[in-house]
């Protein structure tokens, strides 16, 4: 079962989440700390999302295909006030939506992942805006619900791409150990996650050999000795080291849970 949304839905979420982000920070002091992003202020957060959306607009419009090309993308300057930064963000969001809407998702384009198409940007930027919208709301002292279907897709992306993804120079090998089932209680989607080993030599010549996870292509529904359950929103927030609305429940054999949670509780960078 796929969690991927129709590409048009990603665009709708990109629009709505970016606007919720902008609205949350309107009127917030520029130097207010962001509780979920250490060392960042509200201005830093707004500038970051402006930079991100501007960068991916340039990639999609290019289309840019190589790391060398993307290193030449101009970064937008920081605005003089938070209000002006929010104006710049709204302009960057509109430009990104327009670029994606005009470009077939199958178009080849640079990404930092193994998926080298514009379709990756549709998904990643909708989810980027979603998580940073929460950051903005928490900075403002408010919190509104997150879309369950988009959060479910975000959990899938976090597990398969952020944690279980593999660069072309590396290899992920399933390791001995017991699987853990993650379940989104509100949407009914589950993932079977097992321990793995990541090995490989990166382009800088550094050899890596470290624990990782692998995610089954489909959860067959068979026995798993441990489980992690929560709503899709809370699973997504837990995976992204953001505060949850309710506790994420962990149950079952500690020998199964420990290797998986040690990986999943590391901050995504």
Q: How far are the Cα atoms of 39, 47, 77, 110 from residue 33, in angstroms, in the given order?
A: 7, 14, 21, 33
DSSP secondary structure, 48-97, as one string: HHHHHHHHHHHHHHTT--SHHHHTTPPPPPPPSSHHHHHHHHHHHHHHHH
Please check the confidence at residue 112 and state whether its pLDDT lies above 80: yes
Q: What is the mean pLDDT of the chain?
A: 96
Region of residue 189 (phi > 0: left; psi between -120 and 50: alpha; otherwise: beta): beta
In whole angstroms, give the CA distance from residue 98 to residue 34: 29
Spell out the domains of the chain, with CATH numbers in brackets. Answer: 7-140 (1.20.120.450), 148-264 (3.30.1050)
Mean pLDDT of 93-114: 96
Alpha-carbon dihedral of residues 192, 195, 200, 206, nearest 10 degrees? 120
Mean pLDDT of 248-263: 97
Angle between helices 148-157 and 118-140 (to 10 degrees): 120
Please give the share of the chain, as a percent, with pLDDT higher than 70.
100
pLDDT value at position 1? 64
Mean pLDDT of 153-162: 98
Confidence of residue 179 (pLDDT cuts 50, 70, 90): very high
Q: pLDDT per residue over 188-199, tens digit each?
A: 999 999 999 999
Q: What DSSP state is assigned to residue 179?
A: -
pTM: 0.96
**Paired sense of beta strands 190-201 and 170-174, if any:** antiparallel
Lookup: tokens for 181:
């089932």
């Amino acid at each position: 079962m796929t969690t991927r949304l129709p590409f048009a839905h990603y665009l709708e979420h990109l629009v709505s989440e970016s606007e919720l982000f902008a609205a949350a920070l309107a009127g917030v002091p520029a130097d207010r700390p962001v509780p979920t992003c250490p060392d960042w202020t509200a201005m830093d957060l707004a500038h970051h999302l402006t930079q991100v959306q501007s960068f991916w607009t340039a990639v999609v419009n290019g289309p840019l295909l190589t790391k060398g090309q993307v290193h030449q993308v101009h970064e937008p300057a920081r605005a003089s006030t938070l209000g002006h930064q929010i104006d710049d963000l709204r302009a960057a969001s509109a430009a990104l939506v327009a670029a994606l809407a005009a470009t077939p998702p199958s178009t080849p384009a640079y990404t930092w992942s193994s998926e080298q198409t514009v379709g990756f940007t549709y998904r990643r930027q909708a989810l980027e805006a979603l998580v940073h919208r929460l950051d903005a709301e928490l900075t403002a002292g408010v919190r509104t619900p997150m879309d369950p279907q988009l959060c479910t897709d975000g959990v899938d992306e976090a597990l398969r791409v952020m944690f279980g993804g593999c660069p072309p120079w590396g290899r992920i090998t399933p390791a001995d150990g017991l699987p853990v089932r993650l379940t989104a209680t509100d949407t009914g989607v589950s993932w079977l996650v097992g321990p793995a080993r990541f090995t490989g030599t990166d382009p800088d010549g550094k050899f890596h050999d470290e624990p990782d996870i692998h995610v089954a292509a489909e959860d067959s529904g068979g026995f798993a000795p441990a489980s992690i359950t929560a709503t899709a929103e809370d699973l997504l927030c837990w995976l992204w080291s953001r505060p949850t609305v309710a506790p994420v429940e962990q149950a079952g054999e500690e020998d199964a849970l420990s290797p998986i949670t040690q990986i999943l509780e590391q901050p995504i960078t």
